[in-house]
Amino acid sequence: MADWKYIRYQAEDYLERTAEWWKEWRVRKWINANPRIVILCTAATMAMLVIVVFAVTKEKDIAKLDDYAKAYYYDLNTGHLFVGRKDLDTPTEAPSGRLANGQPAGVKAYVFSYIQNPEESQRFIGFLEMKDARYTGGTGNDAGAKWGEGKLIKRVEDKKWVAANSPEGKRIFDSVVYKTNKNGEMPIPCQPK
């Protein structure tokens, strides 16, 4: 029982000494003697905070992912990109017309870059995508659908289209989306303006 009394005594003593130290602290005395300077420093700090917050969150620097109404498409006849509405079913009509087999020549292109706001020469096509005509499930855009369901993808240089949600499709996706450049930077998706 004596041990608890001693611990309590030590704790009370420590608290009393801390309270005395706080009353005698030089900075506290200076603050009490110079309230105008403290208020001025606080106001300047708040103004700097507002400026920093404004600079960091400027409207033009914030990417709006859902505001894009257009998407890139690839013309299988010419090998060139063209821009169309983002909700086009693929394959879709391309500027060059149809393929030799009569099928539309336009497929969706996923374009990337390693820098923000790249010029045309700084972008690259990661992979192409089109709807799988054999797919009989939902649209592939259903909220509950798995990624790539009902879609075929391939790299530009590949001969064969593969199911996007197959192991081969996932390898293509991963080889583009997770491929870092020599500086260790991840690719950034590009959207047309």
Domain ranges of the chain: 2-61, 65-189
List, as one string, the DSSP characters of 7-41: HHHHHHHHHHHHHHHHHH-HHHHHHHH-HHHHHHH
Give pTM, 2 decimals. 0.60
CA dist., res. 37 & res. 118, Å (int): 48
Confidence of residue 110 (pLDDT cuts 50, 70, 90): very high
* Lowest-confidence segment of 24-28, 73-77, 171-175 by average pLDDT: 24-28
Q: Can you tell me the mean pLDDT for 85-96?
A: 87
Positive or negative torsion for Cα 91, 93, 99, 102: positive
Query: Reduced to 3 states, what is the DSSP secondary structure of residue 2?
Result: helix
Query: Reduced to 3 states, what is the DSSP secondary structure of residue 174?
Result: helix
Query: Reduced to 3 states, what is the DSSP secondary structure of residue 67?
Result: helix
List, as one string, the DSSP characters of 40-54: HHHHHHHHHHHHHHH
CA dist., res. 131 & res. 76, Å (int): 15
**Residue 67, phi then psi, degrees to nearest 5:** -85, -5
The secondary structure of residue 88, as a DSSP letter, is -
